[in-house]
Amino acid sequence: MSNPLHASDIAYHIHSQTNLASHETVGPTVMVRGEGIYTWDDQGKQYLDAMSGMWSAALGYSEARLEAAALRQMKQLPYHQNFAHRSTEPAIQLAERLISLAPVPMSKVLFACSGSEANDTAIKLAWYYWSALGQPQRRKIISRNRAYHGTTIASASLTGLAHLHQDFGLPLPGFLHVTCPHFYREGLPGETEEDFSTRLAAELETLIEHEGADTIAAFFAEPLMGTGGVITPPAGYFEKIQQVLKRHDILLVADEVICGFGRTGNWWGSQTFGLQPDMITCAKALSASYLPISALMISEPVYQAMKSQSEKIGIFGHGFTYGGHPVPAAVALECLNIYEERQLPAHAQHVGARLGAGLRKLADHPLVGEVRGAGLMWGVEVVADKATKAAFPKDWKVGLSVSKNTEANGVTARSLNDSVVFAPPLIITAAEVDVVLEAFGKGLDASLAQLREQSRFSG
């Protein structure tokens, strides 16, 4: 490889969620600059980033106010830990601000550096909570197939994607998974969405009764599933699921790592889809990904249990060196200011409706099976047969082909199994939404032409 930087990347750098053998041949796309919702690679190619990096660059790539906030804090106090009664002004202010914005009453905030760490912590606190209440046997955690909650050992066990488990010896014992609430793929013939939701609630109840409610600590859910393919909950789903959880006194943890801070058209996905969680995890758009930070919000009952346990033991035995780091916290505070001042959750709902409507206009395309989403978070299911919903063979990688052909037209999308997904920065304009739609339409057409040339598609 002639480019020394590319050669060094192959020689020394391991990439997440990547075929490592293939990377040695393909090499990296090295990004060197960003402005607004656009990025540029080291070859000078421009991309409209319709995935916000990893669902997370909510304010794009050149927000001067975030740069200034980081610099001010870096000059004043570049770091301090929050162990043993120490604190910093940005961490205190951010905790108070998050509690004021919470979709349901919350009590306290615990900071970490990533969504995986926040979900990991929520698992630990669910166990801690039940130990405080004299029920330490409540250890089992329920999640959903195709859910994504992170890649640490515990959060990957929550995750319902096989490639995060295979040959890692995961999930750990006690992590249980129920049916993905994807009506298009999982609904039965003649079943309505309400019927489907009722069946999934019954499945959850059966699992709880089989395992024993007194052994189950919590149920984790993304309001709108992200990495599973942007799966919107069917009608009545969370209402019915929460009735089961309440009946059996099981904690609900809302994973708002992707959905939080306007992505679904409200401040929180819990507001969009009617969740009443006991704990909430958030990250990504919390700092618009300018610096790593995540937060776990906990309800008053959970806090009281934590307090009693720490008093009994003498200490709360958890924390991170960089938890509540003052520089990311200062950036996150400024992010929240910008979201409020520019009314970006409402903007996401407005321009997201345009994106959704434009994608639905492509529903007649031979490769499109389903269009789904909310706010600025959308997925398109790619199918081999619209009538039967039959998928293409996985090794054909048709979804990846569509996303690559979309990218060839200057727009970055993401392929997730049989779906192509979009989550552009919240600052995207209506005109830029139209650019995304045009590029995606061309990407679909290009992939269809390739399949026909290969005699793999006759529709």
**Averaged pLDDT, 311-323:** 94
pLDDT of residue 441: 97
| pLDDT confidence tier of residue 232, bands split at 50, 70 and 90 | very high
C-alpha–C-alpha distance, residues 56 and 182, integer Å: 24
Task: State the amino acid at position 309 in one-letter form.
Answer: Q
Give the three-state DSSP class for 216.
strand
CA distances in angstroms from 299 to 204, 258, 302, listed in the order given:
24, 21, 5
pLDDT of residue 455: 86
pLDDT of residue 61: 97
pLDDT of residue 172: 96
| pLDDT confidence tier of residue 50, bands split at 50, 70 and 90 | very high
pLDDT of residue 458: 74
- Evaluate whether 143 touches 123 at the Cβ level (below 8 Å): no
- Evaluate whether 432 touches 48 at the Cβ level (below 8 Å): yes
Residue 5 structure tokens? 């930087």
Give the three-state DSSP class for 175.
strand
pLDDT of 1 > 80? The answer is no
C-alpha–C-alpha distance, residues 433 and 412, integer Å: 12
What is the model's pTM? 0.96
pLDDT of residue 166: 95
- The percent of residues in the chain predicted with pLDDT above 70, rounded, is 100
- The percent of residues in the chain predicted with pLDDT above 90, rounded, is 95
**Averaged pLDDT, 248-270:** 98
pLDDT of residue 355: 98
pLDDT of residue 76: 97
pLDDT of residue 456: 84
Enumerate domains of the chain plus CATH numbers: 4-62+343-453 (3.90.1150.10), 66-341 (3.40.640.10)
User: Lowest-pLDDT range, 273-277, 415-419, 420-424?
Assistant: 415-419
Query: What does DSSP say about strands 175-178 and 140-144: parallel, antiparallel, or unpaired?
Result: parallel
DSSP string, 224-267: SBSTTT-BPPPTTHHHHHHHHHHHTT-EEEEE-TTTTTTTTSSS
pLDDT of residue 451: 94
pLDDT of 439 > 70? The answer is yes
| pLDDT confidence tier of residue 200, bands split at 50, 70 and 90 | very high
C-alpha–C-alpha distance, residues 345 and 339, integer Å: 7
What sign for the dihedral angle of Cα 53, 124, 273, 96?
A: negative
Place of tokens 């801070």: 261
| pLDDT confidence tier of residue 227, bands split at 50, 70 and 90 | very high
**Averaged pLDDT, 57-85:** 97
DSSP string, 90-150: HHHHHHHHHHHH-SS---EEEEESSHHHHHHHHHHHHHHHHHHTT-TT--EEEEETT----
- Evaluate whether 240 touches 198 at the Cβ level (below 8 Å): yes
User: Strand pairing partners for 112?
Assistant: 294
| pLDDT confidence tier of residue 152, bands split at 50, 70 and 90 | very high
Neighbours of 402 (CB within 10 A): 27
User: Strand pairing partners for 412?
Assistant: 49
Mean pLDDT, the chain, as a whole number?
96
> In the chain, how long is the greatest CA-to-CA distance?
70
pLDDT of 289 > 90? The answer is yes
